[in-house]
Chains A and B, each alone.
Chain A
Amino acid sequence: KNEVEQSPQNLTAQEGEFITINCSYSVGISALHWLQQHPGGGIVSLFMLSSGKKKHGRLIATINIQEKHSSLHITASHPRDSAVYICAVRESGGGADGLTFGKGTHLIIQP
């Protein structure tokens, strides 16, 4: 089973700071998801990527397949970015589900 590790587990920053959240995994994957979970449980899919880099607004996700590592960056962070960010991977040739989740990074952006 893939081991998905996220760092940091908790991050508190000031509004405007550049944020980086890291995800590493142990087994080759076909896709990696970055998810955002707000208090109350709702999860929103931010990115799904299998190579390179994707950008959406102030969010940037990168993945390095060789190093089995992905990063999620937030530029010009804002208090509304406060949430838990979860990395999830789908293994190459995985079964019907194949999704393994990290434990999440709890981000707090202070005004």
Chain B
Amino acid sequence: GAGVSQSPRYKVAKRGQDVALRCDPISGHVSLFWYQQALGQGPEFLTYFQNEAQLDKSGLPSDRFFAERPEGSVSTLKIQRTQQEDSAVYLCASSLGGPVGNSPLHFGNGTRLTVT
């Protein structure tokens, strides 16, 4: 596609429910990032993939958060046993090059997760 696509656009989950958020990066983009953006705040890094390899997951807030990119294209961010503090916009971004290249980032429109 022309840009980074995220789905669903909105997700409402009951506390304790598992959710899966999908990111379709721009075709051919090597790097894929997940960010969490709380209301009124800037995005916070969650995890980074270079192709299928998850090179950095230091930003994942707990072991309830899990991300994968098995074939080096589509990525899924899974949150198990959701809590109210997980409510945020989850942003996916991709870039053409690896981390050293400082390639421009292309963001998706995000998934707004509300945990009730």
Contact = CB atoms under 8 A, between A and B. Distances in A.
Given A41-B37, A98-B99, A99-B45, 19 more contacts: A30-B102, A31-B102, A40-B109, A41-B91, A41-B109, A42-B109, A43-B107, A45-B104, A48-B105, A88-B42, A90-B102, A95-B99, A96-B48, A96-B55, A97-B45, A100-B45, A101-B44, A102-B42, A104-B42
Contact of B99 (A48, A97, A100): A97
Contact of B33 (A31, A41, A94, A97): A97
Interface in B37-84: 37, 40-45, 48, 50, 55-56, 58-59
Interface residues of A, number: 27
Interface of A: 4, 30-31, 33, 35, 40-45, 48, 50, 86, 88, 90, 94-104
